[in-house]
Amino acid sequence: MNTHALEALQLEENKVLLASLKEAQDKSSVARMVVHKLEFISEYKKSDLLEELEALDFTVTDTFVTEEGYNGLMFQREDTTEDNVIEKLSLELIALLDEHDARYGGWITEVIK
């Protein structure tokens, strides 16, 4: 899947997640931990990517192996869930991960009332 298709898919997923948060009466302007997921297509640029995520104030919280055998990790930082913030961040992460042979797998967070 090319980058444009991944971006479009993620923006649609964002809409679903944000609608779910709004339905739960989430206060999107309140910062909270937002956890992101990635899969390494190749581990060739992994250390560079980890350095860049750290420079962006992300913390790696967990590692995993996908059903397809790819190594992945969960990383988080405190952000709001306002539409424009999540959209911009998702697109930036997709681009960053693409540069480092990794695939963005989306985000999750808790509801803040």
Average pLDDT in the 93-111 region?
Answer: 96
Q: What gap in Å lies between CA 112 and CA 105, rounded to an integer?
A: 23
3 state SS of 73: strand
| Mean pLDDT for all residues in the chain | 96
Q: What gap in Å lies between CA 107 and CA 113, rounded to an integer?
A: 19
Is residue 28 a part of any domain in this protein?
A: no
Is residue 27 a part of any domain in this protein?
A: no
User: Per-residue confidence at 2, pLDDT binned at 50, 70, 90?
Assistant: confident
Counts of helices then strands in the chain (DSSP H, E): 3, 4
In order of 8, 9, 85, 94, the CA distances from 4 in angstroms are 6, 9, 19, 10
Number of domains in the chain: 1
Q: Where residue 47 sits, what CATH number does that domain have?
A: 3.30.70.970
Is residue 26 a part of any domain in this protein?
A: no
Average pLDDT in the 74-95 region?
Answer: 97
Average pLDDT in the 66-74 region?
Answer: 95
Q: Which domain holds residue 97?
A: 3-21+34-109
Give the model's pLDDT for residue 69: 94
Is residue 77 a part of any domain in this protein?
A: yes
